[in-house]
Amino acid sequence: MKFSSKVKKSGLSPMRKFHPYAVAAQAAGKTIYHLNIGQPDVETPPQFFEAVRGFSQSVLAYAPSPGMPVLIDAIQRYYDNLGMHFETGEIQVTTGGSEALQIVFNCILDDGDEVLIPEPFYPNYNTMVNVTGARICPIPTTPEEGYHYADREKIVSRINERTRAIVCTNPGNPTGTILTEDEMRMIVDIAKEHDLFLVADEAYREFVYGGEALQSFGAYEDAADNIIVIDTVSKRFSACGARIGCIISRNRELMGESMKFLQARLSVATLDQIASAALYDVGPEYFAAVREEYKRRRDTVVSKLAEIPGVVCKCPGGAFYIMAKLPIDNADKFQQWLLEEFDDNGDTVMFAPGAPMYATPGKGVDEIRIAYVLKQEKLERAMDLLALGIKKYNETH
């Protein structure tokens, strides 16, 4: 049987590809400390569940394709509080940020097109771009420079007649890199000068640890036709299972084209939308506490990594990920070894190997992404397991 060349170009998620090995390790009695998936352990605000319990309609009906008014209104208020206003027609609700990205890429990319994305990047971008027939043109970075990419020459030198968009994940996944206001302005100007879309994946906006004001590319009204903001409740409210995201753009032509996909998939889950709307009633004290918790975890991971000889890692400014270069030959091999051959008193650890987060062949083979989503005691144990694992792996390989 023949399969699509587009699906054949796509790979499995590095965050999930070792699941079968993890199942086998658990069946063998091992306890696994999961640093591989960005699933927060912070409690989802109770407003979500209260809204579900309060649902009293006798029929669970389809929602409107662009989203339920109660949720769109809540998103509007959220952005109004950040100092930027979007009209109702400039917000479309999607099944998570992932569907938002898929729809946007399908609207703006075609066979042979290119999209500029700093590497390492969220690896599912690969699949999302591949299925459009386009390709990722990477903006290169290095661990030694803290994965910094906001350099005008570095970006402009990669623009050609096939380039259609720049993607910025701010704060970054997997690197935790955050952009300054000047860097954001520079990237907006490049998009305007070259008539490119700027796709701003802002799932981690709240997670910044240096006292910075919350940022959004949506604030640049002078680039209204260029900018597309991707947002989600998943990380902000620790509600990954709700699967609620959105596309936000003042480009009415884009929003008209995306409606074709919204209607083709009918609607987003009604209950999830109602419950997610209630999340936007959460006050600033919630985010202050969550930020403090993640900052403490970040500092723990950075401190622990600094104690391991040969590790290259800069302290990230945001999100809840750290990308690190390890003193090993191959992160994929190392991860499989950790699950199949290593344990310390029955414990082992998982991370996300770095190579699939690069478009440049051969890069990232000795890098990993750590998601610091475990409580402090478990996180410290996981980092100790990583250090011990590196030492024993290098003694036997």
pLDDT means per 10 residues, the chain with 397 residues, are 89 78 94 92 95 96 98 98 97 98 98 98 94 97 96 98 98 97 98 98 97 96 98 96 97 98 98 98 94 96 97 97 98 96 97 94 97 94 98 95
- Residues 335 and 111 sit within 8 Å (Cβ to Cβ): no
Same domain, yes or no: 177 and 297: no
Same domain, yes or no: 19 and 137: no
- In angstroms, rounded to a whole number, what is the distance separating the alpha carbons of residues 132 and 123? 16
Q: Where a domain ends, among 221, 254, 279?
A: 279
Same domain, yes or no: 56 and 170: yes
Strands 367-371 and 321-325 turn out to be: antiparallel
Residue located via tokens 């994965």: 147
Structural domains counted in the chain: 2
Same domain, yes or no: 26 and 72: no
Q: Where a domain ends, among 279, 313, 329?
A: 279
DSSP string spanning 296-348? Answer: HHHHHHHHHHHTSTT-B-PPP-BTTEEEEE-SSS-HHHHHHHHHHT--BTTEE
The two structure tokens encoding residue 183: 């860097």
pLDDT, position 211 = 93
Same domain, yes or no: 222 and 331: no
- In angstroms, rounded to a whole number, what is the distance separating the alpha carbons of residues 74 and 159? 37
Q: Where a domain ends, among 224, 247, 279?
A: 279
Same domain, yes or no: 226 and 118: yes
Q: Whole domain around residue 332: which residue ranges?
A: 5-43+285-396
CATH number for the domain spanning 130: value is: 3.40.640.10
CATH number for the domain spanning 292: value is: 3.90.1150.10
Same domain, yes or no: 35 and 60: no
pTM for the structure as a whole: 0.95
pLDDT, position 14 = 67
Same domain, yes or no: 370 and 265: no
Same domain, yes or no: 206 and 261: yes
Strands of 35-123 (E only): list them: 91-94, 114-118
pLDDT single digits (tens) 344-387: 999 999 999 999 999 999 999 999 999 999 999 999 999 999 99
Same domain, yes or no: 263 and 293: no
Same domain, yes or no: 161 and 150: yes
pLDDT, position 32 = 97
Same domain, yes or no: 139 and 249: yes
